[in-house]
Amino acid sequence: MSDPARRLERVVCVVSLCLLAATAALGQSANKSQVAKDSKEDIKQAQQLADRGDKAFAAGKMNEALAEYEQAVQHAPGDAEIVRRAAAVRAEVVQKLVDQAETDALDGFV
What are the structural domains, with CATH classification, of the chain? Answer: 3-32+39-106 (1.25.40)
Return the closest-CA partner of residue 34 out of 42, 23, 70: 42
CA distance 93 to 90: 5
Say what the pTM is: 0.61
Residues in the chain, how many?
110
Q: Which residue has the higher pLDDT, 23 or 98?
A: 98
Name which of 10-19, 39-48, 62-71 the model is least confident about.
Answer: 10-19
pLDDT higher than threshold 90 for residue 19: no
pLDDT at residue 31 above 60? Answer: no
